[in-house]
Amino acid sequence: MAEQRRWIFGAVLSAALLIPGSAVAQEKAQNHQSAAAPAAADPAKPGAEQASLATLAGDYNRVIKFVAQMGATAAPSSGTAKISVQLGGRFLLEESTDTVFGRTVEGLRVYGYDNATKQYEMARMYTMSTAITMMKGTSIDGGKTIDFIGESESSGGGKTPLHVRLRRVSDDEFVETFFTAGPDGKEAAFQETTYTRKK
């Protein structure tokens, strides 16, 4: 009888020692797995693409060149732009004022990168229209060059294809070139805007 009690006590004691040991081992395994496979980045938070766009923030002079205007290059126009980071680093807001052919033109542009779709986005508005032009963009060189594709509304109610290429020349200069379908149906540039950071 005493021997049976000793056996039962030994079995209970062994079980009591094994349970915490296995729990510790399981916890260590879970910790190792979480360290080996970090949680995915929060898609709602700004990342590398947004940080890259944010480096464009600042005050700029703008020079706007119109090309292929009636078969010749039109005289350039000039203006200024202020680009600021908005909503905790998620977007850029550009506010511009230009003098185009003696007329004041104001514009707003919002730039961003959608972590979910892996695409750049841009919304363009200005005082020559009541439309908002929405564009989607891609880059093959880490954001140094971004090609935005969209459509603009024509005065006759139709839609015209629009391609805007944003190209960084240096930390203090970038160029936006606008393309659309030419008379022959092929894509052709019609406007180029150079931004130079104010010192």
Half-sphere exposure of 40 (CA within 13 A, CB side): 5
Average pLDDT rounded to a whole number, residues 141-152: 95
Q: Rounded to 5 degrees, what are φ and ψ at 45?
A: -100, 145
> pTM for the whole thing?
0.76
Average pLDDT over all residues of the chain: 82
Whether residues 146 and 191 share a domain: the answer is yes
Q: Is residue 18 pLDDT above 60, yes or no?
A: no
Asked if residues 98 and 78 have their Cβ atoms less than 8 Å apart, the reply is yes
Higher pLDDT, 38 or 64: 64
Burial of 195 (0-12, 13-18, 19+ CB in 10 A): buried
Whether residues 117 and 55 share a domain: the answer is yes
CATH code for the domain in which residue 89 is found: 2.40.128.20
Quote the tokens at residue 47. Answer: 């990342």
Whether residues 1 and 70 share a domain: the answer is no
Whether residues 111 and 22 share a domain: the answer is no
Question: At which residue do the structure tokens 């496979």 appear?
Answer: 37
Whether residues 78 and 19 share a domain: the answer is no
C-alpha span between 123 and 193 (Å, rounded): 17
Whether residues 101 and 153 share a domain: the answer is yes
Per the structure, the count of domains in the chain is 2
**Inter-CA distances, 81 with 47, 129, 160, 171, 176, Å:** 25, 19, 26, 16, 13
Whether residues 72 and 103 share a domain: the answer is yes
Quickly count: other Cβ atoms within 10 Å of residue 18's Cβ.
10
Average pLDDT rounded to a whole number, residues 179-198: 90
Whether residues 32 and 108 share a domain: the answer is no
Higher pLDDT, 176 or 4: 176
Whether residues 22 and 55 share a domain: the answer is no
Domain with 101, as residue range(s), is 48-197
First to last CA, the chain: 96
103-141 pLDDT, tens digit each? 999 999 999 999 999 999 999 999 999 999 999 999 999
